[in-house]
Chain A
Amino acid sequence: MKALVAMSGGVDSSVAAALMLEQGYDVIGVTLKQWEGPNGLMPVSGCCTLSDAEDARRVAAQLDIPYYVLDYVEEFTEAVVKPFAEGYRRGLTPNPCIECNRKVRFTALLDRTEALGCDVLVTGHHARVEERDGVWSLRKAVDGTKDQSYVLHMLDQAGLSKVRLPVGEMTKVRVRECAADLGLRTASKPDSQDICFVTSGDYRDFLRGMIPDMEGGGDVLDLEGSVVGHHGGTAGFTIGQRKGLGVSVGEPRYVVDIGVADQTITIGRYEDLLTDGCSVSEMSFTNEPIADGSHVEVKVRYRSEPVGAVADRDGDLWQFTFDEPQPRPAPGQTLVMYNGDYVLGGGIIVD
């Protein structure tokens, strides 16, 4: 059996490669070159940089597996970076990591896995893939603090049957111990936090480069429609945002609405942010679609506790009604449905 391991140069994918070798697989390591500067070079700061690729290469050499850098710049630019910028321009809050998984990693790279004669695609994500009686499921990681099942919700039966996530079975502490035991250079490398193609450290600077007409600005309004301040362009804001509003009224204010057409930002109190539900498009399911009217747990952002909701089908959309009012989720973000530890599926929040 042969495994293609997507190696980012971090500790998780390094250990994932080592574990597949231990399980008796022939292993090929690859790093995806997804982004480059105007000079055609890989970025030198941020995540997925040239030095990360060098780390991956050195780990591969240590494990004595072949290693390659694959050029996915074109696919990534079209499927992830441009929609990311366009989403912000339209007042959305896109999740580029999920789009990358949906449109590059678990599509193009999965096809490549087969073309390279490999049986499975392996990543260093913290989540678990399980099989019982021919049915595949996606489960939260053993290490709840590192769980990444949220960003993998788009995997369906065909995808899950070809994906292996060996580090999802381990705590992060154990992953680092394992890397240290093997003497891997990435054992104590810090976790990456950034969006991989935002190299300046601030995605707003990046957006300004991508969207020439982003500069501009408009009024900050309160819920009564009175002008309470001024902002430098709606593309820098996200629903629920509290900091950087440039308005001081003595108690916390949150962005409750973004008006792209008239370039307004509306702010309100926490209770003004609460909503009964949201609608979701582009729903996918890890197995069969859930029944109309099901009660499920949902996460509407990566780092939040699941809350209960009822899911009703509405044509191409699904309407979710929360058990208790929740802060309004940002359109463009992803809703993922869970049944306990298990991912049922998810989609993109439209409103």
Chain B
Amino acid sequence: VTPPHPKEIYVDHAATTALRPAALETLERSHAAGYGNASGNHGSARRAKNALEEAREYAAQLIGAERPHDIVFTSGGTESDNLAVVGSALASDQKGIVVSSIEHKAVLESATTLARFGYVTRFVPSDGDGVIHAEAVADLVDADTAVVSVMAANNETGTVEPIEAIAERVRSLNATTAIHSDAVQHFVAKPLNVAQLGIDLVSLSGHKFGGPTGVGLLHVSSSTRLEPVLVGGSQEAGRRPGTSNVAGIAAMVAAMEDVERTRGRFVEAAGVERDAFERTLTEGDPSVTVTANDAERLAHFSHVRIPGVLAETLLIRLDAAGVFAAAGSACQSGAVEPSHVLTAMGMPDDVAKECVRFTFGWDTRRGDGAYAARRVLDTIEALR
């Protein structure tokens, strides 16, 4: 008897997640409605422009922005992060760049690139749970600090950062410093109100919360000066030239609306699966440890270390068992690289190589968490 084909369990929602029905419907409707370049001066262009500005207004409302103009649509999280860090540094007379050591590469490499052009880049250390403390940020901020960037939640461990407290401390030290936060992983699981947070620049990426890939936004507060990093057009008030991706933008905003409406239920359901995953796994193998267990974590994130099992090996065996998970961040060839986040948290390399990330999403089925954990336990047993 042939055993049934293993069902596929996708537990890599932090990498990308399924398009929400509301986003898919908007995408299809926009494409079916006809084409139009939102920068033109005729009926077709006006329809596109209207759809674009409607999406901007709605997006501003959804994240508590002061005015629609504060929303700059981009191609995604990486571009938003680059525009925030590089754009605000270029617009400032100050030369100091302060970023946390656990940022996404889009922020880290923006900062290191600026360092090659005469800026002074400093990295804020992390504690052992991946928490960036406001005092540690404050230690590096001075009168010359142009921009501070600390993510809202980490993309590997799911650790939630005290960004409101950080913003307040930075503001008290230097009122002219632009404050940025990459909220790419955060938004799907935590409410976001930029006015209340007091953060100037906030990055979002559509495909991380059920919008299309290739669309994102950057919130830019009215008081923040920003130099564009792409040039050659007046779109997005000159801050991000290039023909507007109206259908993608509208679909992303539809997904944002869906996130806002269903976040409570999502957090509860994802939390149930995550907890079942961790409980099944740690009961089945008490040597397994949960990273950042003492810190506040996003409800859909689980980052675990399995002593004696290389993540690279585990992931290939899980792939064969139909369980799709991830470790660290993949380089351009697809090889699993030692994670700079875990290194910054003080984890030795050989321990970091035994860490795997499981992340749950809006379409995760009930029971997926425990199922994934059992497949991990099967693999551990086969390897020992």
Contacts and interface: CB of A to CB of B under 8 A. Distances in A.
B33 interface: no
B332 A68 contact: no
A173 B332 CA distance: 33
Nearest to A71: B335
Interface in B295-324: 310, 312-313, 316-317, 319-320
Interface stretch (A109-117, A222-230, A340-348): A109-117
Given A28-B316, A112-B313, A50 B383 contact: no
B244 to A, nearest CB: 32
Nearest to A114: B383
B1 interface: no
A112 B320 CA distance: 15
Contacts of B337: 40, 71
A33 B335 contact: yes
A116 B335 contact: no
B319 A66 contact: yes
A70 B335 contact: yes
Contacts of B383: 115
B341 to A, nearest CB: 15
A71 B332 contact: no
A69 interface: yes
Contacts of B223: none
A42 B330 CA distance: 12
A116 B313 contact: yes
Contacts of B32: none
Contacts of A69: 333-335
A158 to B, nearest CB: 20
B237 interface: no
A198 to B, nearest CB: 19
B336 interface: yes
Contacts of A61: none
A334 B335 CA distance: 32
Contacts of A31: 333
Contact of A53 (B319, B333, B382): B333
Contacts of A112: 313
Given A71-B336, A115-B383, A41 B317 contact: no
B316 A71 contact: no
Contacts of A57: 334
Chain A: interface residue count, which band? Answer: 10 to 19
Interface of A is mostly: mixed
Interface in B38-57: none
A30 to B, nearest CB: 8
A33 B333 contact: yes
Interface residues of B, number: 16
B382 A42 contact: no
B317 A116 contact: yes
Contacts of A117: 317, 320, 382
Nearest to A56: B333
Contact of B310 (A40, A50, A66, A115): A115
Interface centre among B317, B334, B336 (most CB of A within 10 A): B334
B312 A71 contact: yes
Interface string B223-251: 00000000000000000000000000000
A66 B310 CA distance: 18
A42 B316 contact: no
Interface string A61-76: 0000010111100000
B316 A116 contact: yes
Nearest to B309: A115
Nearest to B349: A74
Interface in A109-146: 112, 115-117
Contact of B332 (A28, A41, A115): A41
Contacts of B317: 116-117
B288 to A, nearest CB: 18
A57 B383 CA distance: 26
Interface in B319-347: 319-320, 331-337
A40 B331 CA distance: 8
Contacts of B316: 28, 66, 68, 116
Nearest to B313: A115
B310 A42 contact: no
B349 to A, nearest CB: 8
Most chain B CB within a 10 A radius of its CB, from A28, A31, A117: A117
Given A112-B313, A115-B313, A117-B382, A68 B320 contact: no
A42 B313 contact: no
Contacts of A40: 331, 337
Interface string B262-278: 00000000000000000
Nearest to B336: A71
Contacts of A68: 312, 316, 334
A68 B333 CA distance: 9
Quick one: which of A28, A57, A66, A69 has the most chain B CB within 10 A?
A: A69
A66 B331 contact: no
Interface in A31-57: 31, 33, 40-42, 50, 53, 57
B313 A50 contact: no
A235 B317 CA distance: 45
Interface string A1-45: 000000000000000000000000000100101000000111000
Contacts of A70: 312, 335
A41 B335 CA distance: 10
A225 to B, nearest CB: 51
Nearest to B315: A68
A165 B337 CA distance: 30
A31 B332 CA distance: 13
Contacts of A66: 316, 319-320
Contacts of A41: 331-332
Given A66-B319, A117-B317, A42 B332 contact: yes
A77 to B, nearest CB: 13
A42 B331 CA distance: 9
Task: Please name the 10 residue pairs, one residue from A and one from B, whose CB atoms are nearest each other, closest first.
Answer: A69-B335, A71-B335, A33-B335, A69-B334, A69-B333, A115-B313, A53-B333, A42-B333, A33-B333, A116-B316
21 contacts: A28-B316, A28-B320, A33-B331, A40-B337, A42-B331, A53-B334, A57-B334, A66-B316, A66-B319, A68-B312, A68-B334, A69-B334, A69-B335, A70-B312, A71-B336, A112-B313, A115-B310, A115-B383, A116-B313, A117-B320, A117-B382
Interface of A: 28, 31, 33, 40-42, 50, 53, 57, 66, 68-71, 112, 115-117
Given A112-B313, A115-B383, 8 more contacts: A28-B316, A31-B333, A33-B333, A33-B335, A42-B332, A69-B333, A71-B312, A115-B313
